[in-house]
Structure 1
Amino acid sequence: MKKVSATPYSFHPALKFGDIDRALPERVKECLSVNSKMASDRPVTNKFINSPESCVDDNLRGLVASNPLLHLHPQHRVVTVRPTEDTGKVAVIGGGGSGHEPFAAGFVGEGMLDGAVAGGIFASPPTGNVLYAITHLYKYNSGGVLVLIGNYTGDRLNFGKAIEKAKIAGIKVEGVIVGEDVASSHNKTGGRGMCAEVYLYKMCGALAAQGASLEEVRNLAVESSNYMATLGVCLSPCSLPGQAPLFEISRGMMELGVGVHGEAGISKVELGTAREVVSLVLGKIVEHLNLTSGHSVTAMVNNLGGTSILEMNIISKEIKEYLENKQITLERLYSGHMKSSLEMHGFQICLLHLAPEHAAGWLRLLDTDTSALAWPAPAPVRAGGGVGDYEDATVQTSDEKVATGPSLSSSEQSLLRDCLKTASEALIQNVELLNRLDSGCGDGDCGNTLKRFSLAILEYIRTASMEYPSNVLWDLSEIAERDMGGTSGGIYSLGLSAASQALASANCNDVASWLLAWDSATRAISKYGGAEPGDRTMLDSLQTAAVAFKENLSLDMKSLVRAAADAAERGAVTTAGMTASAGRASYVSSAYHGDEDAGARAVAIWLQAIFNCISKQL
């Protein structure tokens, strides 16, 4: 088994699979086609909910009502074990978007997760809520906090910034990004995080309960994730509350390589018998993990939401028989809802390769008792329960401006205010353009998201002091985190906070200091977003403009800003037709990539607005 090294927040997948379609029988292969029927033509799916707006919070309240071992912190959508005093051990945290139940809050309990953070339906939770969970659990677990993060851009950004904020506040915390999906393993940032996260919840939680150190628990997560791989199929899609199904599947067909956020697969294939489907899926996983006769595994069958128990039992039977025929020993078989996709009719299979040097230890961790009710083992019911918040645990990171950096003159303050106003107004004027560009390979709300950010900035600059630009950038970072939300909020928040810290350490207000801040922002976005220039993201405009700025420092200021503005435009234009290697666009067919990237165009819009504002005042 080939190992892949890992560092905090770095993705550490198993072997690269390459193009999954190459192994499919020709008789069942079809080209991935764009669904020509608009979602608006399909009827809204009925669900037993009170309202789409309240369903996440109602779900969490129902969870704690049925499990008296849990405690809900409703203002932060955080579920934890009930604290009493400092355990001295390491706390393990998971989380992500809702709609995947029982993931992740259903796996909170003694010997498993200490806490989980819930976002909106299929949406990453905001940084502040993640930070609250880390801070609260550290108060009762002085051994430290391990945060397990699914390999999705929004989760990487929002969980990543929360970890960085917690470290600034002196909290002992580490994070590990998990991604084992075979279908997307060829992506630059690695495979998506699927149900293998549940394996890690169990193993890391059990090891932490035994008194292991933060380093030991983190190393277990890194090492074991190299031995996991998941692949799934579905017969019908799910639908978000109050909406129509996300896509369509023709009768007699299925989607191979589906995700857990309602995504279609990477290939449409003919539906066969349960035996044929399991053989197809396991064949890919066995090849991906380089499993051969004599190896041992555990298997997890993850119900994506709408698959009957009858079908799940048949699938389990076929998994056992397939592995027996391959002379691969099946040590444990877990079946049920682990990380669902609302009501999607489908399933995933995840194999954990039990290498000889790890087998005994990992099985002991998997077999250790837990009170988490969603794990397929009985748990005792104890008295207790309730709903409340521990607001005293919240870290006030807005005070972490340890240095103010250089100050601006009155005229420079006026220019900064005008630049922010002009950039915000330009984004607001281009809402429809950005939404349209985002609709092909995103969720069509890039313009709306940036409009919320822009309106908040316009309100902020009415009264805020512009004297210290490092403080202004930090405030903008907090505004992005609070008012934008989702992946875009995480990206802009991380970039602006990194730029703020760079300026706070500068000695003077000169071009070199601002270039350093610019570079720091780009590196932070790349680090947590997993993208680089050329991957069809906002970095293509941001970095292209930065390079042009550096290369033209010998010019007069008006020529310099014009060169940078032109470069930003080129950076956005060149994204048209690029193959996305990172971010949400990388998960969909390249057929959707014919136009410019919305994020890159947005950067070009506000950069050009800023440069034009500077040029007019020279």
Structure 2
Amino acid sequence: MAAPKPVTKKLINSPETCVDDNLRGVVALYPGLHLHPKHRVITLRTKSDSGRVVVLGGGGSGHEPFAAGLVGLGMLDGAVAGGVFASPPTGHVLYGITQLYKYNSGGVIVIIGNYTGDRLNFGKAIEKAKIAGIKVEGLIVGEDLASSHNKTGGRSMVGEVIFYKLCGAMAQKGYDLLTIRKVAVEANKYMATLGVCLSACSLPGQPPLFEIADDEMELGAGVHGEAGIKKMKLGTAKEVVKMIIDQIIDHLKLKAGDRLAVIVDNLGGTSLLEMNILSAETKDYFESKQIRVERIFAGHLKTSLEMHGFQICVLHLNKEQGDFWLELLDAPTDALGWTGGEASKRGHDSHGDDESLMQTDEREIMSGPTLTAKQQEVLRGSLRSAAQQLVANESLLNRLDSGCGDGDCGITLKKFAQAMLSYLETACLERCANVLWRLSELAETDMGGTSGAVYSLGLAAAAHALAGAVSNDPAAWLSAWEKGMQAITKYGGAEPGDRTMLDTLHAAAAVFKANLDQDLKTLLRKTAEAAEEGAKATITMTARAGRASYVASGHVHDEDAGARAAALWLQAILNFIADAY
């Protein structure tokens, strides 16, 4: 017998109270809404008859923000919640209808998801309300492509949210009950939704509802935790989006020149980064087919607890009513869960960078001391030696970084070193300030990350200091060195003693300063020795800055990678120059 699957962890009080606790949370965040706790109904707060039509939605919980989170002017006027993935009982739906009609004599249109439980419970509530003299109409909606062959039509997916928006906007504009229903019925003919999931969700207090391999996805998964209609191998975002859209295009018989409104719906556990990628791929693929995406909305709209997956929902904006539907989608709403807004409207499609604004790669520093031909070659050789040391010690630096960082210090510095070697092949090194400036640019563009920023900042500050120097002597280079360290401290926050590259640089600079009156070889050799001691001293230091400061001290038991890297390139430069003179 197979071992039982473990219960999935959730931050709830109990499975029995999670629905009611969720509704309490909605009104805690948005006290402008009114909670009717015994009936699990949330409505807009009203004190007098609006005279207009209102919209009621709802269904099982676990799909948040659907449906209570979509209550707001211009969308739902009320929502009724069932248990997790369970239809609310007839009495609760009837209460919601009655409560809304009390303050809105124009009538109530009830949006019903195409599920047996919802059809029965909402349907019975509507019939009882009509017997009581309430002006009410029901609208069963469903647009799921995967189940479209069923006798009762496709299941209701995130498209239900589009109906909340269309009907809510019409109600706000003063349309009558039957007209609102007629428009929504027509729109349902032009909708389709299809999605995939990468992992199953789980009901509170229960294990996952189904199993799926790490390299698989389920096509056509439902929002009630159902598995899909087909298991498929996981593909890239581009491949998955193409596969889904091809089926939607075929189902709706879309063609070049058609116009769409699209929702990319997060099924609950998909990261925002993934959703943005999926949204871009969705728009791009439709438009590669010359099908114009007028609006694209994305986010958590109708979820399935923590399911990792997404759905693409399409409303074909037909020639007859497409512009009107688009107007309704654009109409303002203060419903907290709707992700559209003024910024969603399609305007100019051109995107691109204005490269004229950032021409730092063309900048030259034309001040400061100049170098003779021999001095230029010494500088070239010393920098080449420094770069070669970093390349040769990639593995060492990665190892030192692995316990307290992300293990890429050597990789990062190797990128910088390789860019430096390429630069040195043809670079003019006449002005030393300009050389440092160029190196700072390489650190920014080729090295990247935090290390790139630190090196770029320090080198830029040193370049600025050298640009103001009047001679190429050790005192001028010391001043530039100190300015570089000061900039790193100012913006990076680290100081000597914090177990960073500054410990190497500071120790070496102090010895350099103390030996300015010595001959050049002595000055450089002693400074190189101090750099070595500065790096070794970090073994016993407590990390107070940089990534190492974020981890437990037990993981920090060797030299700091950044300090060792600084010792490597600094010693290479100093020793090369000492040997050259």
Q: TM-score range by the shorter chain?
A: 0.5 to 0.7
Structure 1 residues 318 and 377 mapped into 2: Cα distance closer, same or farther (>3 Å)? closer
Q: Give the Cα–Cα distance (whole angstroms) in 1 for the partners of residues 145 and 340 of structure 2.
A: 28
Aligned-CA RMSD value? 1.2
1:59 correspondence with 2:35: no
Structure 1 equivalent of residue 230 of structure 2: 267
1:366 correspondence with 2:344: no
Structure 1 equivalent of residue 163 of structure 2: 200
- Check the 8 A contact 2:77/2:100 in 1, yes or no: yes
1:39-438 correspondence to structure 2 within 5 Å: 41-377=4-340
Q: Describe the superposition over 1:126-164 as per-residue Cα deviations: whole angstroms up to 9, x where unpaired.
A: 000000000010011101100000000000000000000
Q: Give the Cα–Cα distance (whole angstroms) in 2 for the partners of residues 281 and 44 of structure 1.
A: 32
Aligned-pair CA distance for 1:69 = 2.3
Structure 1 residues 298 and 377 mapped into 2: Cα distance closer, same or farther (>3 Å)? closer
Q: Give the Cα–Cα distance (whole angstroms) in 1 for the partners of residues 291 and 269 of structure 2.
A: 29
Structure 1 equivalent of residue 440 of structure 2: none
Q: Describe the superposition over 1:58-98 as per-residue Cα deviations: whole angstroms up to 9, x where unpaired.
A: 00010011112211000000000001110000010000000
Q: Give the Cα–Cα distance (whole angstroms) in 2 for the partners of residues 115 and 94 of structure 1.
A: 7
Aligned-pair CA distance for 1:281 = 0.6
Aligned-pair CA distance for 1:378 = 6.2
Identity fraction in percent: 68
**Runs of 4+ in structure 1 displaced over 4 angstroms?**
none
Aligned-pair CA distance for 1:227 = 0.8
- Where 2:175 maps in the other structure, the secondary structure is coil
Q: Give the Cα–Cα distance (whole angstroms) in 1 for the partners of residues 32 and 236 of structure 2.
A: 42
1:575-594 correspondence to structure 2 within 5 Å: none
Q: Give the Cα–Cα distance (whole angstroms) in 1 for the partners of residues 309 and 31 of structure 2.
A: 31
Q: Which amino acid aligns with 1:240?
A: L
- Where 2:39 maps in the other structure, the secondary structure is coil
- Where 1:100 maps in the other structure, the secondary structure is coil
What's the TM-score once normalised by structure 2's chain length? 0.58
Greater relative contact order structure (CA < 8 Å, 6+ sep): 1
Q: Describe the superposition over 1:102-130 as per-residue Cα deviations: whole angstroms up to 9, x where unpaired.
A: 00111100111000000000000000000
Q: Give the Cα–Cα distance (whole angstroms) in 2 for the partners of residues 286 and 80 of structure 1.
A: 37
Q: Give the Cα–Cα distance (whole angstroms) in 2 for the partners of residues 198 and 69 of structure 1.
A: 21
Q: Describe the superposition over 1:316-343 as per-residue Cα deviations: whole angstroms up to 9, x where unpaired.
A: 0100110111000000000000100000
Q: Give the Cα–Cα distance (whole angstroms) in 1 for the partners of residues 266 and 167 of structure 2.
A: 23
Q: Give the Cα–Cα distance (whole angstroms) in 2 for the partners of residues 239 and 377 of structure 1.
A: 29
Aligned-pair CA distance for 1:221 = 1.2
- Where 1:351 maps in the other structure, the secondary structure is strand
Q: Give the Cα–Cα distance (whole angstroms) in 1 for the partners of residues 340 and 27 of structure 2.
A: 18
Structure 1 residues 78 and 244 mapped into 2: Cα distance closer, same or farther (>3 Å)? same
- Where 1:75 maps in the other structure, the secondary structure is helix
Q: Give the Cα–Cα distance (whole angstroms) in 2 for the partners of residues 377 and 262 of structure 1.
A: 26
Q: Give the Cα–Cα distance (whole angstroms) in 2 for the partners of residues 273 and 294 of structure 1.
A: 27
Aligned-pair CA distance for 1:251 = 1.7
Q: Give the Cα–Cα distance (whole angstroms) in 2 for the partners of residues 225 and 116 of structure 1.
A: 21
What's the TM-score once normalised by structure 1's chain length? 0.55
- Where 2:203 maps in the other structure, the secondary structure is coil
Q: Give the Cα–Cα distance (whole angstroms) in 2 for the partners of residues 50 and 141 of structure 1.
A: 36
- Where 1:41 maps in the other structure, the secondary structure is coil
- Check the 8 A contact 1:69/1:109 in 2, yes or no: no
- Where 2:319 maps in the other structure, the secondary structure is coil
Q: Give the Cα–Cα distance (whole angstroms) in 2 for the partners of residues 133 and 257 of structure 1.
A: 32
Q: Give the Cα–Cα distance (whole angstroms) in 2 for the partners of residues 356 and 70 of structure 1.
A: 38
- Where 2:256 maps in the other structure, the secondary structure is coil
Q: Which amino acid aligns with 2:33?
A: L
- Where 2:25 maps in the other structure, the secondary structure is helix
- Where 2:242 maps in the other structure, the secondary structure is helix
- Check the 8 A contact 1:119/1:125 in 2, yes or no: yes
Q: Give the Cα–Cα distance (whole angstroms) in 2 for the partners of residues 173 and 118 of structure 1.
A: 19
- Check the 8 A contact 2:297/2:340 in 1, yes or no: no
Q: Which amino acid aligns with 1:160?
A: G
Aligned-pair CA distance for 1:377 = 4.0
- Check the 8 A contact 2:87/2:121 in 1, yes or no: yes
Gaps of 5+ in 2: 343-581
Q: Give the Cα–Cα distance (whole angstroms) in 1 for the partners of residues 299 and 49 of structure 2.
A: 34
- Where 2:198 maps in the other structure, the secondary structure is strand
Aligned-pair CA distance for 1:361 = 0.9
Q: Give the Cα–Cα distance (whole angstroms) in 2 for the partners of residues 267 and 364 of structure 1.
A: 37
Q: Give the Cα–Cα distance (whole angstroms) in 1 for the partners of residues 289 and 210 of structure 2.
A: 36
